[in-house]
Amino acid sequence: MFTNLADGRNNANRQCDLLILGAGPAGITVALEAAAKAPGLRIIIAEAGGLEPPSADELALYSGESAGSSRYSLTTTRLRYFGGTSGHWGGWCRPLDAVDFAARPQAGSTGWPINKPELAGHYAAAHRWLEIPDDNYDPDRLETELRDKLIDFSSSDWFQNRLFHFSPPTRFGTRYRDAIEQSSSIECLLNAAAIDYSYSANRLSSVRVGGLHGHQLDIQAGRVVIAMGGLECARHLLLMRQRGWAASGISSAKLAHGFADHFGLRPGILQLQADRIYQRTAGSQGPVMPIITPTPEALSEQAWQNTCMLLDITPAADKLPSGYTSHQALGFSGEDTWTYSVQMILEPRTNENSRVELSGQTDALGLPKIKLFWEIDPRDYQSAQNVFTRFTHEIARMGLGRGQVKPLDITLRQRSANGTAHHMGTARMAEHPGEGVVDRNLKVFGTGNLYVAGSAVFPSFGYSNPTMTIVALAHRLAEHLTDTG
């Protein structure tokens, strides 16, 4: 059932068992999964926006200051209405690699408190939520004509082929609207942004919701899940700290530090066998995108950060100088080749300096705005450059082609970096308080009833887009909340 707070018709205070703040992929998955698993549970979703895309005034509630060495848009990288940012996401999907969960100093990570096998069933569920029929990411099972267009890495210890899949993309606000509407245990309050919090000892006792329309009400809940996206999550936990709540996760030095987004690097060009396909393409089970990644062994031996490579076909003018391609003795004639520009997606290293702060300015609802410092560690670029350099050696060794590595100007790269709207790391999951903000069950350390869903909890980031893992973790959280209800 939906109730629009802006109508002003049914604005009595509420009580419920489970309150979810935010109706993006994370919040909607938690709500519908919890309702399915525990039919008697009284669930409220408080969603800041309505059913239609936000007006300029509503989106301005996300505005703030970008103060880091890399610029960042706080408004165009997220949406504020029912369905959240899935209203314009691209649908690129891939689970994290097993290695991404491990402690890796080169990624600035002490590791996740859970491993990939623990998420297996939840990733399977996430494929259903994201409407991806195929959860096999091994390119060996692709049909022959596609497989034949990939580089044969069977003689390489360094590199391997992998895949992305694509969600249609699922727009959670339209795809799951009827399910929320028809649910007898979920009430979704629209135009109901969380704007204030009361706590008592270790429990969040009540949340005030309101909007630009001026109506407000209080909600008391047994348990509360913050599912507002990775930036608002940090903002609201900082707001709770500002209100004096000293629960260990909220007063943690890690809170709002370690903000990360994925970004790219074009490290150079390749002259390589013609007709290689490392771009989105139609597979028999749906669209796929082959990628090239270092093997887990190479990642660990070389202490590289994780990364993947896509190949774009470039105009002939970009061809390598003939000196690169004329070494017949090395088995590469340079004939029947194409020139490709390489696009890498990099794993950002956790950087404590990259952070969200509350600024001195307030938004139209009276909440302090965000001041974001997006700081990219220079080693991120160097690691990627090292991977690509090694890749050019490897394709030369295999007699497949040649590559040219472009000079790397890290300061210029940092200044011109573009994020990909993946807001991660601001409320890290950890085994122990002091190492992070939430525990392995996503409960904020030191609190009795406050949880976080979303990519804020990622303690490291891999190169995979986050929504598949967000939904898998949301599925796992719903199971935990209902099992321990």
Ligand X SMILES: Cc1cc2nc3c(=O)[nH]c(=O)nc-3n(C[C@H](O)[C@H](O)[C@H](O)COP(=O)(O)OP(=O)(O)OC[C@H]3O[C@@H](n4cnc5c(N)ncnc54)[C@H](O)[C@@H]3O)c2cc1C
Give residues in contact with ligand X (CB under 6 A).
21-27, 46-49, 77-78, 80-81, 84-86, 88-92, 193-194, 227-229, 232, 421-422, 454-455, 465-467, 470
**Nearer to ligand X among residue 99 and residue 219 (C-beta):** 219
Q: What SS3 state is found at 4? A: strand
Which CB contacts under 8 angstroms, 24+ apart, belong to 431-440? 431/113, 433/248, 433/249, 433/252, 434/248, 434/252, 434/254, 435/110, 435/254, 436/249, 436/252, 436/254, 437/237, 437/249, 437/250, 437/252, 437/254, 437/255, 438/249, 439/113, 440/113, 440/114
**Nearer to ligand X among residue 240 and residue 395 (C-beta):** 240
Minimum CB separation from ligand X for residue 207, in Å?
Answer: 9
Minimum CB separation from ligand X for residue 478, in Å?
Answer: 13
Minimum CB separation from ligand X for residue 458, in Å?
Answer: 11
**Nearer to ligand X among residue 180 and residue 298 (C-beta):** 180
409: buried, middle or exposed (CB in 10 Å: 19+, 13-18, 0-12)? Answer: exposed
Minimum CB separation from ligand X for residue 367, in Å?
Answer: 8
**Nearer to ligand X among residue 238 and residue 470 (C-beta):** 470
Q: Cβ contacts of residue 438 below 8 Å, gap of 6+?
A: 249, 427, 428, 429, 430, 444, 445, 451, 452, 457
Minimum CB separation from ligand X for residue 180, in Å?
Answer: 12
**Nearer to ligand X among residue 87 and residue 113 (C-beta):** 87
Ranked by CB distance to ligand X, the top (closest) residue is 24
Strand 14-21 and strand 43-46: the pairing is parallel
Task: Return the structure tokens found at 133.
Answer: 């029929």
For residue 163, what are the CA distances in angstroms to 126, 138, 166, 212?
Answer: 17, 7, 10, 44
Minimum CB separation from ligand X for residue 91, in Å?
Answer: 5
**Nearer to ligand X among residue 64 and residue 466 (C-beta):** 466
